Every structure is written in structure tokens, then in C-alpha cells.
Amino acid sequence: MLRVNDIEVIYDGAILAVSGVSLAVPQGSIVALLGANGAGKSTTLKAISGLVRAGRAALSRGSIHFKGQPSTDTSANLLVQQGIVHVLEGRHVFPHLTVEENLISGGFVRRPGRQALQTGLERIYAWFPRLKEKRKVQAGYTSGGEQQMVAIGRALMTNPSLVLLDEPSMGLAPLIVQEIFDIVSQLNASENVSFLIAEQNIPVALKHAHYGYVLETGKVVLSGSAEQLLQDSALQDAYLGKRQ
């Protein structure tokens, strides 16, 4: 589905944010991109979705292939049409639009007809019943967890095959985080949507991911199946604060 090969990203022509990152997301899998603040997770996702160019950054080395085709010269909006969607860190919703209007705004990318849009909405409401209840409420007045669901639901309205999720757990209560990750797992299992999830919350991410990569200062320092990483003593020491 996705292959990232030895990429390097530089901000403002000077700040080396990501250096030599390689990773793969097999079709139908959930892959976790783990690491602390500033490790380069968001920048890696932006390189994949084509958003680095919008942030005064450049991909200065390496290649990215999506569904077998090179994608680094493809614009972000064309990548969405091809099936990659990026849910940015920080739950960006349109606060003055209702929940439903936010969801509909995601659907427009594919220029659907009225019926297709309605079918898309019903599909999102089936996954996120809370959003159906709140569909007439301005998104800015919903809870943090609901805003994260709106952001994910809006992305799903593009009918993606690969979702890049940046820190879905940030600032949310554990129960809500669990609810969101459970929906991600079910979407993956029943609709075969692939996910690349950047997370600092390593236990939650590895509970739901099949495979993981750990980034430190812009480099992959560890990778393996979720089971292998959970057993890894270096990861335990550095991030989970316990020894085996």
C-alpha cells in the first residue's frame, strides 16, 4: 500500500527534521509510528500526504510509493483523490459549522452526488453513533473526543484506502481514546482501511497496531511487530518506564 524509502525532510532550508526514515504499510494493516515530542512523526506523515510543501519544508532525499506509484510529486489534493487522507494533529474542525456540515466538507473532495453524500454520511454515523446524535450541533461546542471523531469521520468521507492519523489520543480521557482506537480497529478489520498512526501513547497504539516503528530525532531506531515491540527492553526502558 505504502512504501517510504530513506526520506529526509528539511524545514526552512536549514532544520533537518527527518533523516533516513524508511517504513512500509502493507494493505489492510495498522502501523504505529511511535516516538516522543519532536521525533519527526508529524513531519513523516506530512511528507506522505504531500503537506510538507505547505509548511515551508522540502523532501530533500528519498522516495515514497503509494499503491506502487511514486507519489512525492503528486499534490496533496490529488493524493486524497487517490486514497490517502491525513487527519492532522490537534483535531482541526470548522468550529462554526455543524458536525454534519464538517462531515459533508470531507465528502466534497470526490464531488459526489446528493445520494452518494447521504450514503457516505450514514456510513460515518454507523461508525460514530455519537456524531449522529450531535449532527446539528456546531462542532466547536462538542467535546474534545467528539471533535476527534468529527476529524476522523470527515477524513473517512473521502473513502480513503490509507488514513494517516496524527496523535489521535492527544489530550483525551483514556476511555475516549479506547473508543476511538476500537473504531479504528473495526474499520480496519471490516472495511480493510489501512492506518499509519503517529502516537506518543505507545501502549494504546501497540495494542491496536500490527506493526510499529520508533522514531528518535528524525531516525527509525527500532521496528517490529506490535508483540515484539511490547517485549523490547530498550523500548520498555526508554518509553514505558519499566524493566522486564
Cβ nearer to ligand ATP, comparing 102 with 169: 169
Phi, psi of 62 (to 5 degrees): 95, 180
Q: Is the dihedral of CA 74, 79, 82, 84 positive or negative?
A: positive
Q: At what angle do helices 144-156 and 114-127 cross, to 10 degrees?
A: 140
- What residues make contact with ligand ATP under the rule CB under 6 A? 11-12, 15, 17, 35, 37-43, 55, 89, 167
Cβ nearer to ligand ATP, comparing 42 with 142: 42
CA angle 126, 131, 135 (to 5 degrees): 115
Cβ nearer to ligand ATP, comparing 1 with 17: 17
Cβ nearer to ligand ATP, comparing 57 with 85: 57
Smallest distance from the beta carbon of 16 to ligand ATP, in angstroms? 8
Smallest distance from the beta carbon of 111 to ligand ATP, in angstroms? 31
| Nearest C-alpha neighbor of 3 from the set 60, 56, 72, 54 | 72
Cβ nearer to ligand ATP, comparing 146 with 167: 167
Q: In whole angstroms, give the CA distance from residue 128 to residue 183.
A: 8
Smallest distance from the beta carbon of 198 to ligand ATP, in angstroms? 6
CA angle 93, 81, 68 (to 5 degrees): 125
Smallest distance from the beta carbon of 85 to ligand ATP, in angstroms? 18
Smallest distance from the beta carbon of 167 to ligand ATP, in angstroms? 6
